[in-house]
Amino acid sequence: MKVNGKDFRTVCMENNEVKLINQLLLPHKFEIHTCKNHIETAEAIKKMIVRGAGAIGATAAYGVAQAALESDEDNYKDYIKKSVETLQKTRPTAQNLFTGINYVYNSIKDSDFNEIQKIAVEKANEFADYDAYACKKIGGHGNSLIKDDCKILTHCNAGWLAFVDWGSALSPIFMAHRAGKNIFVFADETRPRNQGSLLTAWELGQEKVPHGIIADNAAGYYLNKGEINMVITGADRIAANGDAANKIGTYEKAVLAKENNIPFYIAAPTTTFDLGTEDGSKIPIEERNPDEVLSISGIRIAPKESSAKNPAFDITPAKYIAGIITEKGIVKADKEEIKRLFEQ
Ligand code: MRU
């Protein structure tokens, strides 16, 4: 996607270094962050310099490739295995992180030292390229659901910053806009990290998509007034039965959409599905630092003696989801349909 008219990828690897768009500085500053080794790459995921399921998946895949490049003949198996553990521990919820790590690790774990480096880099690039390809396809499928004059609500950021390119939930929106449809996007601000007001709004602005930021609490008001025609969000992990983990606050938007007869869609590539997890109740939910709730931009707003709870994700049960937009087409949030998707 373009930033001030120039093409950028959210994450890539050049000369053994992982290059990331520093998402902590947006929208006020656009800067590329460099990770010289897999430890720095893991840190960038942990500190949310890079964030969003697809983006951290590709970054972690590159992290395993870096570990292969850093290793030497005497210790390469142990070294790479340890790097996998380090990268896996960075964040617990997004399935793409684990898919990306496994994709590279499984391709080298039984190989000889003289071939692992080449294979690891090739596989990491392949994984990142697939992410960009899948999201573009999601855009095409999702665009078919968007009518002219459509008003769409989205939550958090599932645009191209959250993937390698295009994004999941925003990809259909970018495509509809480029196709000349008249659309308007309501972007939830998404407290406490404000991915909606900082990142989604910035991406929509770069593409000149008409949009307005709303406080998270305002979504119900607009859904009830009939001012929103559809909801599209991303997902961080989708269980075998179609229950979906996404940014905290998504569940309540889905319930309110159903209550008001407005379709609620999830957009996610197949790399977000976790068929080994039966339903949403088994998806690990990241609990983040309470300071994110107690403070705004580093300034404490809550009383000194108050504590806070800060779950980063919630689960939307499959029954609230009108469909899941994947790169292979739009499927029902249903165990059998999801199973068939992986048999294609
Ligand atoms: O905590 P984050 O910013 O890494 O959260 C991930 C997300 O951006 C959202 O949950 C998103 O809607 C799905 S991932 C594209």
Q: Whose CA is nearest to atom 12 of ligand 1?
A: 234
Q: 3-state DSSP call for residue 226? A: coil
Percent of the chain scored above 70 by pLDDT?
100
The pLDDT of residue 316 is: 98
Phi, psi torsion values for 247, nearest 5 degrees: -50, 140
- Distance separating alpha carbons of residues 160 and 203, to the nearest angstrom: 8
154 lines ligand 1 (CB under 6 A): no
Q: What is the pLDDT of residues 85-128, one digit of tens each?
A: 999 999 999 999 999 999 999 999 999 999 999 999 999 999 99
Confidence of residue 22 (pLDDT cuts 50, 70, 90): very high
246 lines ligand 1 (CB under 6 A): yes
User: What is the distance in A from the centroid of ligand 1 to the CA of 266?
Assistant: 12
Q: What is the pLDDT of residues 236-252, one digit of tens each?
A: 999 999 999 999 999 99
Q: In this structure, are residues 124 and 162 in contact, taking their beta carbons and an 8 Å threshold?
A: no
Confidence of residue 205 (pLDDT cuts 50, 70, 90): very high
Is 90 exceeded by the pLDDT of residue 334? yes
Q: What is the pLDDT of residues 260-271, one digit of tens each?
A: 999 999 999 999
174-179 mean pLDDT: 98
Is 90 exceeded by the pLDDT of residue 322? yes
User: What is the distance in A from the centroid of ligand 1 to the CA of 158?
Assistant: 6
Percent of the chain scored above 90 by pLDDT?
97
Asked, as a colleague might, if the bond just before 27 is cis with ω within 30 of 0, I would say yes
Is 90 exceeded by the pLDDT of residue 7? no
User: What is the distance in A from the centroid of ligand 1 to the CA of 142?
Assistant: 19
The pLDDT of residue 258 is: 98
Q: What is the pLDDT of residues 26-85, one digit of tens each?
A: 999 999 999 999 999 999 999 999 999 999 999 999 999 999 999 999 999 999 999 999
Phi, psi torsion values for 276, nearest 5 degrees: -80, -10
312 lines ligand 1 (CB under 6 A): yes
User: Does 236 qualify as catalytic in the annotation?
Assistant: yes
The pLDDT of residue 5 is: 81
9 lines ligand 1 (CB under 6 A): no
206-232 mean pLDDT: 97
51 lines ligand 1 (CB under 6 A): yes
Mean pLDDT of the chain: 97
Relative to the CA of 163, which ligand 1 atom is closest? 15
Residue 29 burial (CB count, 10 A)? 8
Is 90 exceeded by the pLDDT of residue 317? yes
